[in-house]
Structures are given as structure tokens and as C-alpha cells.
Amino acid sequence: MLKLNFWTAFARSRKTRARESAFSCPAMRLDARILGPAVLTGAGLLSAVLPLAAPASDLMVDESRITAQNRDGADWLSYGRGYTEQRFSPLNRINAGNVSKLGLTAFVDFDEGRGLEATPLVADGTLFVSLSWSKVIAADAVTGKILWKYDPQVFKGKAIDTCCDAINRGVALWKGKVFVGTLDGRLVALDAKTGKLLWEVQTTDTTKAYTITGAPRVVKGRVIIGNGGADFGTRGYFSAYDADSGKMLWRFYVVPGDPSKPYESPELAEAAKTWSGNVYWKYGGGGNPWDGMAYDPDLDLLYVGTGNGGPWNREIRSPGGGDNLFLSSIVAVKPETGELVWHYQETPGDSWDFTSTQQITLATLPINGKERQVILHAPKNGFFYVLDRKTGELLSAEKFGKVTWADRIDMKTGRPVENPAARYVDKPVTQWPSGFGAHNWHPMSYSPITNLVYIPYQEVPGVLRNQKDEFVYRPHRFNTGNGFSDARSFPSDVVSGALVAWDPVAQKARWRVPYKYYYNGGTLSTAGNLVFQGTADGRMMAYSADKGQALWAFPAQTGVVAGPITYSVNGEQYMAVMAGWGGAAATVGGDASLAPGVRNVSRLLIFKLGGTAQLPALQPLARVDSLPASAMDIKARDDAESIKQGAVIFANNCMACHGVGAVSGGLTPDLRKSASQTFDGYSTIVLGGALEPLGMPKFGAYLSEDDVEKIKSYVVSRRRADLGPKTTQSTLLTK
């Protein structure tokens, strides 16, 4: 058993942070004459490639080895284990008959303070995984001993462009290299043996609010990476880079750009016909592909899920209507050229943040008496889709949870039959699902033994209102246009989660395990008739894959959102997971997502049969004196108009981290419970960036002193409404 804290060594001086505030890519800090080869990107940006060393590793992961994992369970070589992204392992030494004997064998604690969403990779007994702020470690897969660590030194002020925590979902392996996308938009190649930087390239325009949180994939020697930022006014795309040199080979833009300029591909010229108005390209348009990808080596097709519209409300983004291709779609492209082969749009004219970036899983299923090569997809919008992966033909689609925005999917047209009120053009609407999605990024798994898909389902309503007449576009700020500022925490009896075992052929649930809290972790299924999943209330669970019977539970002491993996070393099977509460629910979600006692304890957990390691006891939660409400009322303006304006300013600038109605889900401070020194220091913190080294961005370029006072008024109003005027102490979740 090993317990380590090591990131303190990466503490940076104020001088270093000041330099980084001006330059978001380390390569760009060097004299251009010594940068080496450069690539002119499709956006017209000069992306510098910094070659530092030749790879020294003999860890040879390639296409044949990744594909061979269908038969060999020793390693976990790609984000979804293999190109099919099934997250199924043929290992069965740990099985339904003995999983009750599963125990912790090693753990590593990280001094992170942010969520952990990454899926570890394992090759030849070494575990590779990313942490928050895009850090990477390599560890012994048995003992957890750290072999090397890499910190890309992401400027913490980049959190201002980040939707849902400074997380990273994982790395990629290929021929002696480890690849990671960084929050500030770089693609980095590391030596797998040493962690030394081999090359890096800036994949995004650093003047815009692009981020990277998703895991790269490597196909035919090409590193595929997308980006996020639709909510903040960017134009989505994904790109392919040469794994050896970092040279950009092609780029696929999801939505059309400025029509006064040539379109990058014929498909974008056609897509432009599905957009209207004269501002969508100025607002970015969105569509950012920030997560789901899969690859079929036989068909030689790469599948990528695309994101939501930006702004969310189509009445603002594309006021004349239209499907707005290729938002909320699955696109199939040729991996060598990026050429579009087919597309299927799951949510035409998206107005709800219904991304299709969720996991894309490939399988072979009997459909109408015939074996079909299919895509299985459970996106945010709440319908489970089965598509032919050669042609994109829709084979079936049914609701896998509570869905009120549409009645069904028309099998003749492939389009949803919408509830007319769902467009929220004339009046507000409460509907299911919300932008959190019926299924979000949390990985699902598919077992070819049970032929079931195991979905981390969540049931969260959304309240939407057309803000077309009051909308003001703000670069680098949340741009939704759908009443985001009206959001309130929902009562716990209307918010829940579940593990759903879904039959993709019959299109119905075979069993279901309900959870009180939503935003539970990803799933892993195995040949041992097991499904593993972490939960929002701090447990690691194992269920029988055929019946959903609970067989094992482990108290992780923290909410678990990442997907677990399994592998073997010297004939011993292990299960591992990154445990750490974070992501959208822990920031935007509010207290409906927060289970009692759950906090962020960032750690790697490794289990095996007979493991006897013990986690240390949690430290008591720190109690702090909070400013009496009477004093807050004196300091903050309290008129209704200031509160109303403060709510809008808060939603556009603060909600993404500090939660619905200033109610944090436990990752960041609950602003209703601010200590007096914090409340009095709002201007220094919010405008001056006093806490920027801790990840609290500086808003001086976007907000004024008057805005800060209105935020105070709003926070005070929420304090009185939610906690009462006599509250003088509160419990804050601290490490």
C-alpha cells in the first residue's frame, strides 16, 4: 500500500505565473527562430511544434495491439479499452462468485482540490493517467508507486473559459509516447518511459475560450483531438496530428464559419444552408467535439460526437430556424483525410445543450434476424440510438429515461417529434432532461455476454426561457440565452440517478438500480458477470451484470465520477479507478448533487482479491464563522432591481463554478456561506485575481465594481431565502 502527495514540488513563483498569464503555450514563449517546424492551421494560426528529445521508450502500443485487446484482457490501452469503446474486459478471475473478497491493495492521494474524471491506461504493468489541470503521471500498476510525473503548467486563470471544472479525462498511448490535451488547448507528447516532453503543439486560438478536457485517440499514427468552448463563443472542430512530429494533418470544422470567406469543405457550404441570420459565425456557433470518439478498423471510419449550439437558444443563434448542421450529431470521417462519409443529427436545431459528445460504442447485434455492425449511443437528449455504422442508417431509437422535450423519434425521417412547448419561444418551460443530460460524459459499458449496455442515468429537470430580447453576447462568458439566470436548485425528490441495464435490441431496460443522487460514475463490465460503478455518495459498487444484484461495496470517502478499469499483471487481476468529486454537478449543480459527507478527496484506488489496505480516516470538516446576515444586508444593496441584475451577472460569470443560485455542489465554496473576510474582499478576489493561483479567475476585464455589488446583493438574497437571516455559522468542505 502506498500513499503519496507530490504536487507541492510543482508550486510556481508569482513571477512564473505572471509570465504564463501572457503566454498560454510554453512553446510560444521561446524565440520563434528556435521553434522548429510549424503548422499553419485551418484557423490561420501558427501552431508551433516544439521537438525536445527522441522517444526512448520501447512501450509499443499500435493498432494491432489495441485491436487484439478483444481477446487479451491484460492491458487497457485506449480510453474505452479498445477502438470499439465497449469498456468490457474478458477477464474473469474477479467474478460474481468471489467479488465480495475484493479489497483495496494500494492507493495514491493527490493534492489536487479538483475533480478526477480520467480513465487510466495500463500497458506492460505501468499505469498512465491524467489529473486536474492536465497533469500526467505514470505509476506501477500493482503498487501505485509513482514512476514519473508531468505538469504542463496550465495558467490557472484559464478556468475563466472552463465550463465544468479544470478536469481531464485521460491520455492516449502510441509507440512509446503518451499524449494528453491540456486545458489551454495544447496537444502534448511525452516519452512513456520517462515523462519527458517530446513535442507540443497549440491546437486552438488562444485569444478565444477554447479548452481541452477530453482524451485523445490515436488512429493510424494520427492523434485525434477535439475541444470544448461552445458555451463561451467558439467554433468547434477536431484535428489530426502526426504522432511522430506533431504536424497537423487535417482539421474538420463542425459548423460553418463566416460566409464571406471560403468554406473549408463542400459539406460546410451545404451545412450553411441549415443556418439563418447574420450573426451565428460571430457567436462561434458551437458544436465542439469534447469527448466521444470510436474507430472501426474494418470500415476504416472514425466516429466523432459533436456538441451543442452556441449560444444554446436557437432563437438567438439562428433566428430563422434550421437544423444547424453539424450540431449534436455523430459524424463519420476517413481518419487519413478527415473527409466526411456520413452524418446523423440526433437533435436538429439544438436549443437545450443536448450534446452528442457522449460515448460512442461499436457492437455487432442481431437486428431483425440479421447481424448488423452498429453504433450504440445514449446522448444527453434521453433517446438511445442504434445506427448502422457503415451508412449511418437509423435502426431504432427509444427513450431510456424521462423525456418530455420530444415524444418519439420518427423512424421514416430519423427526426424527433418535438413537444412544441420545448422550444420555449413564447413562455418558459420545465422539461426533462436538462442540459445535464439523461446521460452525460460518464462512460457507459457494453457486455457482449449479456448484450446489455450499462448506462449512468440521471434525471434532472431544466427550466428554460427565451432571452432573445435581452441577450447580449459576451466573449469568454457563458452565452446561453435561455434563462440560465433563472436556475434554482430543485428539490431532491425530483432529482435522482440510476444504473440502467439497457437492452439495445429490444430497446428497453432489463434492470435498474436507483440512486438518490445524480452524477454517478462511469461503468465497467467484465466476463466475470460484473458491472462496476462509483457513486455520487462516495461508494465503489459491483453488481451482477445479468440481474443487477449488489455484490460488493467499498467506501471511497469521496464522490466517484470517473470510469473504472480492470487489467492483469503476472496473472493477478486488478480493478482501478480515479476517485474524486468534481465536474459539472460539483460546480454548476448545486446542493441537489451533494450527498452528506461527500467531498473531494483526489486519489487513485487499486483493488485485488484479498487486498487489505486501509484508507486513512477523513479529517473533520472545517467550521468557519460566516458573516452575520444583518451585516451582509448593510454592506450589500438590497433593492429588487439590484438583486435581479445580480442574478443575471452571477449566472453569466459565477454559476459555472459556484453553482445554481450560489449553492455549490461541494467542490467550490458555497457563496451563501462566505466568511466575513471573503465577503469583504469580493472586489480584490473577483476583479483583482487575488485567488487566481488557486483557480479563481480574474474578472477585471469583464466586470465592474458596480457588477460586484450587484452580485453581493444577489448572494445575500439567496442566503436569506435558503439559509435564513439568523445563520451565523456554516460548514465548508475543505481538504
Q: Cα separation of 607 and 526, whole Å?
A: 15
Q: Cα separation of 599 and 166, whole Å?
A: 16
Confidence bin at 35 (pLDDT 50/70/90): very low
Q: Does residue 508 surpass a pLDDT of 80? A: yes
What DSSP character marks residue 320? T
Q: Does residue 27 surpass a pLDDT of 90? A: no
Q: Cα separation of 585 and 440, whole Å?
A: 11
Q: Cα separation of 52 and 35, whole Å?
A: 10
C-alpha of 151 from chain center: 20
Spatial contact of 534 and 541, defined as CB atoms under 8 Å apart: yes
pLDDT score of 95: 98
- Min mean pLDDT across 413-422, 485-494, 502-511, 528-537 is at 485-494
- Min mean pLDDT across 11-15, 165-169, 481-485 is at 11-15
Q: Cα separation of 180 and 189, whole Å?
A: 7
Cα→Cα distances 431→181, 553, 631, 658, Å:
35, 34, 39, 23
pLDDT score of 221: 98
Tell me which residue of 114, 103, 99, 123 sits closest to 158, measured CA to CA. 114
- Min mean pLDDT across 85-94, 159-168, 671-680 is at 671-680
- Annotated active-site residue 353? The verdict is yes
Confidence bin at 487 (pLDDT 50/70/90): low
Q: Does residue 444 surpass a pLDDT of 60? A: yes
pLDDT score of 54: 46
Q: Does residue 733 surpass a pLDDT of 80? A: no
pLDDT score of 53: 43
Rounded (to 5) percent helix, strand, coil in the chain? 20, 30, 50
Q: Cα separation of 351 and 255, whole Å?
A: 15
What DSSP character marks residue 660? G
Q: Is the Cα dihedral 319, 323, 327, 333 positive or negative? A: negative
Other residues' Cβ atoms within 10 Å of the Cβ of residue 266: 10
Q: Which has more pLDDT, 585 or 48?
A: 585
Spatial contact of 373 and 280, defined as CB atoms under 8 Å apart: no
- Roughly how many angstroms between the first and final C-alpha of the chain, as a whole number? 22
Q: Which has more pLDDT, 565 or 669?
A: 565
What rounded mean pLDDT belongs to the chain?
87
Residue bearing cell 475560450:
209
pLDDT score of 715: 83
Confidence bin at 272 (pLDDT 50/70/90): very high
Confidence bin at 583 (pLDDT 50/70/90): confident
Q: Does residue 229 surpass a pLDDT of 50? A: yes
pLDDT score of 671: 81
pLDDT score of 631: 56
In what side-by-side order are the strands of the sheet with 340-345? 293-296, 301-305, 329-333, 340-345
Residue bearing cell 430563422:
320
Q: Which three cell numbers stand for residue 218?
A: 490515436
- The pLDDT tens digits for 44-93 are 333 344 444 444 457 889 999 999 987 889 999 999 999 999 999 999 99
Confidence bin at 267 (pLDDT 50/70/90): very high
Instruction: Outline where DSSP puts E strands in 110-266.
Output: 121-123, 126-130, 136-140, 146-150, 172-174, 177-181, 186-191, 197-202, 217-219, 222-225, 237-242, 248-253
Other residues' Cβ atoms within 10 Å of the Cβ of residue 642: 20
May I ask the CATH architecture of the domain 63-609? 8 Propeller (2.140)
pLDDT score of 4: 41
Confidence bin at 632 (pLDDT 50/70/90): low
Q: Which one of the listed residues 109, 296, 353, 670 is annotated catalytic?
A: 353
pLDDT score of 656: 73
Q: Cα separation of 641 and 619, whole Å?
A: 43
Cα→Cα distances 279→276, 319, 353, 519, Å:
9, 10, 19, 35
Q: Cα separation of 662 and 487, whole Å?
A: 10
Q: Which has more pLDDT, 600 or 262?
A: 262
Please, where are the H alpha helices in 545-686? 584-587, 629-635, 640-653, 655-658, 676-680, 682
Q: Cα separation of 112 and 121, whole Å?
A: 20
Q: Does residue 703 surpass a pLDDT of 90? A: no
Confidence bin at 642 (pLDDT 50/70/90): confident
Half-sphere exposure of 201 (CA within 13 A, CB side): 27
Q: Which CATH superfamily is domain 623-731 in?
A: Cytochrome c-like domain (1.10.760.10)
Confidence bin at 520 (pLDDT 50/70/90): very high
Q: Does residue 337 surpass a pLDDT of 80? A: yes
Confidence bin at 361 (pLDDT 50/70/90): very high
The ranges assigned to domains in the chain are: 63-609, 623-731
Q: Cα separation of 40 and 42, whole Å?
A: 7
Q: Which has more pLDDT, 336 or 29?
A: 336
Q: Does residue 714 surpass a pLDDT of 60? A: yes
Share of the chain above pLDDT 90, in %: 67
Q: Cα separation of 227 and 204, whole Å?
A: 8
pLDDT score of 628: 57
Q: Is the Cα dihedral 187, 193, 195, 196 positive or negative? A: negative
392-397, long-range: CB < 8 A, 24+ apart:
392/330, 392/332, 392/342, 392/343, 392/344, 394/344, 395/367, 396/367, 396/504, 396/507, 397/507
Spatial contact of 352 and 397, defined as CB atoms under 8 Å apart: no
pLDDT score of 57: 53
Q: Cα separation of 603 and 601, whole Å?
A: 6
User: What's the mean pLDDT in 86-101?
Assistant: 98
pLDDT score of 43: 34
Confidence bin at 528 (pLDDT 50/70/90): very high
CA dihedral 166, 172, 177, 179 (to 10 degrees): -30
pLDDT score of 661: 64
User: What's the mean pLDDT in 466-473?
Assistant: 91
Cα→Cα distances 263→226, 251, 306, 685, Å:
19, 13, 19, 43
Q: Does residue 11 surpass a pLDDT of 80? A: no
Confidence bin at 728 (pLDDT 50/70/90): very low
Q: Cα separation of 42 and 46, whole Å?
A: 10
The DSSP secondary structure of 57-81, one letter per residue, reads ------HHHHHHTTT--S-B-STTS
Question: What is the pairing mode between strands 508-515 and 46-48?
Answer: unpaired
Q: Cα separation of 239 and 249, whole Å?
A: 8
What DSSP character marks residue 683? I
Share of the chain above pLDDT 70, in %: 85
Q: Does residue 513 surpass a pLDDT of 80? A: yes
Q: Cα separation of 589 and 670, whole Å?
A: 12
Same fold, 63-609 and 623-731: no
User: What's the mean pLDDT in 482-500?
Assistant: 81
Q: What angle do CA 161, 166, 169 make, to 5 degrees?
A: 120
pLDDT score of 17: 35
What DSSP character marks residue 426? S
Q: Which three cell numbers stand for residue 423?
A: 422550444
